[in-house]
Amino acid sequence: MSSIPTLTKKDLASNQEVRWCPGCGDYAILSAAQQTFAELGVPREKFVIVSGIGCSSRFPYYMNTFGFHTIHGRAPAVATGIKVANPDLSVWIVTGDGDALSIGGNHVIHLMRRNVDVKVLLFDNRIYGLTKGQYSPTSEVGKRTKSSPFGSIDRPFNPVSLALGAGATFVARSIDVYTPHLRETLRDAHGHRGTAFVHIFQNCNIFNDGAFENIREKGLREDNLLHLKHGEPLVFGKSMDRGVRLRAPFEPEVVALGAGITEKDLLVHDERAPIAYTVMLAELHPPHGPMPIGVLRRVTEPSFDSAMHQQIAEVTAERGPGDLARAIRSGNTWEVK
């Protein structure tokens, strides 16, 4: 077998001019993806980037891999077909909060329900950026935009809670400019067999600038982020002096360490815990608590594509190879004159 050539970030960058607004968080995510993909030991021709419609959906043009720019909300359907047709490919969906959670919402939840072995990167800027600033499915209540001039009255989705509710086997969260953490999260997603859902907070500096300032800026994020590590207590803060414990009946409580409270009193993160724990964690957010980032859930379940190929092999062994011409002419047929 021939050895896989060593790749660099430059090898994963296409010759296309990157056309996002200067300062857009998409640049940071693109850079992290190019660097991480180069280190995964996978040939470029084994990667496929699939996107829908939106600013994030230009991603396939900027990656020197195979790519497919599909239509609005339908990237999961196309990605499923690609993975089933060629299981050896590493298939990644790049989408936004509007593309994935509005017109594409039904496709996304069933992708996760089926556990198709594809990776979903959802860029969440809480706004429709490509169409110039309308509120999106993740915009907060009261958000004033061009399509909600008096404030949005819609309750927003929490993408992580949605993924958990759909039964996703891998759910994680990261931040566009938090490069070391984002790259680690992308590596974890790649290593998972099944649907890996990665929610990425991404700043739109033109239409929703500063939406995530308290968790993006270096001077603020240390006190507002909870880094999840499997098997470790939920400790956070610049001085690592605060934590999260459970208060009856099933409510997380932020406490200060000291005065009789130790790490032994805190919740210990378990990626394989029952969904109730993970959803409780997903709903934490400033100012009422820290924002959990990292892998929230990672469990092992059969993937849709593997199950399909196994079923085909079993039926073929039992009945022999199929005959398309015979199948077309079998059953009820009509002659149209």
State pTM to two decimals: 0.94
Distances (CA, A) of 236 to 215, 253, 271, 279: 13, 13, 18, 19
- Per-residue model confidence as pLDDT tens digits over 108-159: 999 999 999 999 999 999 999 999 999 999 999 999 999 999 999 999 999 9
What is the overall mean pLDDT for the chain?
Answer: 95
Give the chain's domains with CATH numbers.
9-211 (3.40.50.970)
Q: Which of 221, 269, 212 is nearest to 245 (CA)?
A: 269
Confidence band, pLDDT 50/70/90 cuts, at residue 3? low
Secondary structure class of 323 (helix, strand, coil): coil
Secondary structure class of 253 (helix, strand, coil): strand
Confidence band, pLDDT 50/70/90 cuts, at residue 2? low
- Per-residue model confidence as pLDDT tens digits over 163-203: 999 999 999 999 999 999 999 999 999 999 999 999 999 99
- Per-residue model confidence as pLDDT tens digits over 59-116: 999 999 999 999 999 999 999 999 999 999 999 999 999 999 999 999 999 999 999 9
Q: Is the peptide bond before 249 cis (omega within 30 degrees of 0)?
A: yes
Checking if the pLDDT of 1 tops 60, the result is no
- Say how far apart CA 183 and CA 140 lie, in whole Å: 28
- Say how far apart CA 119 and CA 133 lie, in whole Å: 27
